[in-house]
Structure 1
C-alpha cells in the first residue's frame, strides 16, 4: 500500500482499502442490503484457534455481513481445523461441501502455482510493499486464477512475516540451522528454501505440528509472531529469531459453486466484507506485534532480534535461480513494482 495509507488512523485504513478496491471497480463500496435481500447462510472454516489473526478476520467478516445485510446474511465460523486441514478445506470448497475459509497462501499455491511467487524468501522488504502488490493489479490477476480450479479468491488477508522458533539453539546466521528439524508449510518453495539454508525441512500440516513440537519429533517451526503467540509456542520453543524471511499472505477463499449460487447483491456484500475484514486483520497484526513479542519474552523465549539478514539473503539466492522463471512474468513485474 502506498505511504499515505500508512499514515491513516487504524479505523480508517480498512475503509481506505475498500475505497481503493471500489475505485478499481472490484467491489461496491458501502453496499447496503435491500429490503428483500435473500436469507443466506455461509460456513467459514479455518485451522487456527480463536486468538489467532485468522479468527479475528473471520469474526470481522461475520460482523460486517450481519450489519450490512440487516441480518439476512449469516456466517457460522468453524475454527481449530474442525472441518479439516487447509488442503482438505480447499478440496471441500472445490466440490461444494465447504463454503469458504481463511487459508494460508502456501497451501493455496498447491492448487495454483502462481501463488508460490509470494513465497519467495525476502521478496517483500516490508508490509506496505506486500500490500501494494497484493491489493493491486498483480494480486487481483493471481486471485482470479483460482476460478480455474473451482475456487473464488475474494481478498488477501494476512498471516504476516514469518520468523523461526526452535528448541535447540539460538539462530543468528544460516549455519545455525544446520540439521535443525524444522516444520514448514507443505509447499515446495518453503521446503527448498530451508533445505538450501541447511535445515532438515519437514513439510507438515499445522494440525500435526503442535503435537510434533511437544513430542520433540521436530525441533522448530517458522511462523509470524501472531501465530507464535496465539499457540503459546513458548511452551515448547526456547528461541525465536526475527528473520522475517517470507511475507505470507492469507486468503479469503470461497467455493466457486457456492459463489455462483449467490445473488449479485449478496456477492457484492461478501466481496466487500472480505476486503474490509482483511484490512482489519492487518491492522490488528500491526497493533499487537510488539505486545505479543514482549509476552513471548516474558514467557522465557530468547529473542534474536538482529540476525545476519544479509547472510540469509545471500544463502537463498539459489532458490531464485531455481524458481524465478516458473511464474511467468510475475516475479519481474513484482520486482519492478517495488523499485
Structure 2
C-alpha cells in the first residue's frame, strides 16, 4: 500500500473508531470527486437518506465530496482495498480494469440520454458490473455526468477543423484522447480538480465536460466559448467494496441496491431537466454559446477512433451496446 493510501487508511480508521464508539450502526464511507454544489452530491445525499431510513439507522452513510479522499484513481483503489466503502466516479476511470467498457465512451455512441440508459441498464452495463466483481468491486448503478461539450478561449467550434491547434484538456479516456489528437488538437491529461488553474494560467486553453461540471467548477470564469457538441456521453459508475457489500445482511444489501437505483433515477432526471437552465446560466455569466455544430462532419472524422477500438477489443461490446440502446430494443431494464 502506498503512502497516500496509508495516510487515508489512518484517517478513516480514526473516523471509524469514533463511529463505532458512538453507535452500533454500520457506517459506510461514500467518496466522490465533485463539489457539494454538483448533482453528484445531491445523489449521495439522497442515497444516504434512503439507506439510513430504510435500515432504521442500522446503516449510516458518511459522505466525502470534492475529492477529499483523493483523486478518482485513488478513490477507486481505496474502494477496492476497503479503505473506502462506496465511490462514485466516471466510467472512464474503470476502463483500466474493464477495457471493453471504453466502448461506452466512444465519440457519438449515443444519440440521446434514453439510448444510453437502455444500454447501461441492460445487458452491456450488467456485463461491465459483473466484470468489476473480479476486481473487488460491487457495481450498484450508472448515474451520469451527461453529454460532453467543448469550451475554449479561441472561438466557437462548429466543425472538426475548429479544434486544430487547441491545447485541449482531456480525461484518461483513450477514445477521447485519440479523437482530439486525430482532429488536430493537443490533448493533455489534467485531473479535474487542477483544471481551473490550468485554464486560468494558460497551461491549456480548452476542455470538454458535461454542463453540470462546467457550472459546478465555475469554468465559465476562465473560458469564453461553449460549443454544444454532444460529442460523447459520460456515464458515472457507483460501486462498493465487494467484501463490505457481502458482509451486509441480504435485507441490507437490497436496501443499498434500491437506494442506488432510486438516487440514480433522480439524478439522471434532474440532470436532463437542468440542462437548458445551465446553458442560460452560463450565457448570463458571459459565455458565448453556439449550437450550430456539424455533427455529421464530426461523426465522419472520428471513424478511425472506432476502428482503433475494434482492432484492440473487437466489436462485440459495440454491437451489444447498439442493440440494447435501440428504441425498439426489447431488453428488460433493471
For normalisation by structure 2, the TM-score amounts to 0.88
Alignment match, 1:331? 318
1:43-84 deviation line (CA, Å, top 9, x unaligned): 101111011121111111111112211222111110111100
Of residues 129, 132, 138 in structure 2, which corresponds to 1:152? 138
* 1:1-339 mapped onto 2 (5 Å cutoff): 39-325=25-311, 326-327=313-314, 329-339=316-326
Partner of 2:142: helix, strand, or coil?
A: strand
CA RMSD in angstroms, aligned pairs only: 1.3
Count of equivalent residues: 302
Distance in 1 between residues matched to 2:179 and 2:321, nearest whole Å: 19
Partner of 2:143: helix, strand, or coil?
A: strand
Distance in 2 between residues matched to 1:275 and 1:208, nearest whole Å: 31
For normalisation by structure 1, the TM-score amounts to 0.86
Partner of 2:231: helix, strand, or coil?
A: coil
| Conserved? CA contact 2:123–2:324, under 8 Å | no
Alpha-carbon shift at residue 276 of structure 1 (Å) = 0.9
| Conserved? CA contact 1:186–1:205, under 8 Å | no
Alpha-carbon shift at residue 327 of structure 1 (Å) = 4.9
Structure 1: unaligned runs, 5 residues or longer: 1-37
Distance in 2 between residues matched to 1:312 and 1:240, nearest whole Å: 17
| Conserved? CA contact 1:113–1:327, under 8 Å | no
1:90-147 deviation line (CA, Å, top 9, x unaligned): 0111111111111111111122112111010000000000111111122111111101
Distance in 2 between residues matched to 1:134 and 1:336, nearest whole Å: 12
1:238-288 deviation line (CA, Å, top 9, x unaligned): 000101011111011111222122222211111111111111100110111
Partner of 2:236: helix, strand, or coil?
A: strand
Distance in 2 between residues matched to 1:189 and 1:254, nearest whole Å: 26
Distance in 2 between residues matched to 1:275 and 1:47, nearest whole Å: 20
Alignment match, 1:4? none
Partner of 1:271: helix, strand, or coil?
A: helix
Alpha-carbon shift at residue 206 of structure 1 (Å) = 1.2
